[in-house]
Structure 1
Amino acid sequence: MELPPGWSALLEDYVAHLDAERGLSPHTVRAYRGDLVELARHCGVGPAEVTLPALRSWLSAMTDAGAASSTVQRRVACVRGFFGWARREGLVAEDPAARLTAPRRRRHLPRVPSRADVDLSLASVSARLSEGDNPLVHRDLALVEVLYSSGLRVSEACSLRLRDVDRERRALTVLGKGGKERTVPLGVPALRALDAWLHRRPEVAGPRSPETVFLGARGGAMDPRVARRVVHAATAGAGRGAETGPHGLRHAMATHLIDGGADLRSVQEMLGHSSVATTQIYTHVTSERLRQAFRQAHPRA
């Protein structure tokens, strides 16, 4: 289905702006482009003819269709960014999104695997080491250990390079969202598992293998989808209702750090959050646990 006149060229220019000037990830750029294509088809007019009521109608339609508040918020951010850019570039006379508001986002408290759950998951992967001589089992254990130890996003773990591992300092150099680089600590068990995998890595690597730490079965860079499958399989027995997979381990790492007394700013830096407000959800998680313990144990709760 063709877009109304004026959209195609403007979209391509905006996508180039997001990629080159704002440094957004390819996934985010694709999502924003898809949002704007949907908007163009809903409005049926060129960008310069879009009005605030038309934007509100678009948001209302997606809400009626069952879109989550987080999805609606992302799309509001998308159109604000787009029309703000178009107005600054002189491509539209007015910014119809300047007064567009998003619905209040509900605070979702992620249910994370407990320390015992994570220990069991790691033990189950370790047990597979004795079942055969497959170097990929060492990779899987190293991946799970690194994700839990350092709280990396799965995309960050898959793009981790050999030179990013600093054994002396027990740290990793990570390239996060927006091309921002950060240094995160690496625990002793994770370093031990990583060393074991890197010792076996040459058995998987080929002459054209990239310098990434984690490789796929054929020697290429490990695909994030494969990494997710590996972690989901490892954490399948986690506590009932707990979020599993790479993001579950990231949530667990942050929650367990704060439970153990780590300060919020340090956790923010380790996770690569641009705002401490994003990290504060983990204080809500631990507070909820305190309330549950109080209700269960206090005689006058």
Structure 2
Amino acid sequence: MDFIDLHVHTNTSDGLLSPKEVVYWAHKKNLAAIAITDHDTVDGIDEALFYGEKYNVEVIPGIEINTDYKGSEVHILGYYIGYKATWFKDILKKISSARFDRAKKIIEKLDNLGLEITFDEVLEISGEASIGRPHIARVLVNKKLAYNNKEVFDKYIGINGPAYVPRYKITPCMAIEYILKSGGIPVLAHPGLIKDRAIIEELVENNLKGIEVFHTKHNQDMVKLFMDFAKKHDLIITGGSDCHGVFTDGISLLGSLNIDKKYLDILKTEFHI
């Protein structure tokens, strides 16, 4: 049986590995295909495609767009997106610019709490990546101002934290529209992490094409729940590890869910890819 992983991040967003390294590890793990789904950026796709050919790993151009629904984060995955379209890149640039502004405001709030870090220190961690809260967390951990990223989010920069700053808001329906316009397939990411399940029904009515049934944080009850939901609403079934590096808490996530390649084959057949 061939296995796939359709939810993978690189260091062009908040992952630890370069696109080349991600593809290399996919090859080492004998994965048949992976999808590069960085947050609000497509900067890692070309490099991943190049090394996908070299290592004989099918690479699917994708994205994970962070959106807001009634104050809660909802992530929309896009597969086989037309990532080179100028209009699409312009939208992502606007999101990226807002990320910079948000990071600066978070750093200012942290400073007021006595946690002194600089924007340059965060940029040094993020490099060319789409800047985000995980980069801020890493600086705090590196400076021994916190034990780990989880502590940073729980105590300071999570949604209920004193240094939290709301994101530039794109709605899930807007993300679906952008992905469809680019020629891609919009899929709801990790629905098990969404508190208000009413959003899922609403998105189905607004051209959502698939749902991420298999995810690292989905237990067996969730898998069954969303599998049944997908079948009821005729949605494509996908899955991925949401890998941000080779190891997380000592566990190798890339390809760890052993997702059958048949789900990718069905997606391709359904959308004539």
Specify the TM-score bucket, using the shorter chain as the normaliser.
under 0.3
Higher strand share: 2
Highest relative contact order (Cα 8 Å, sep 6+), 1 or 2?
2
TM-score for the superposition, normalised by structure 1: 0.25
TM-score for the superposition, normalised by structure 2: 0.26
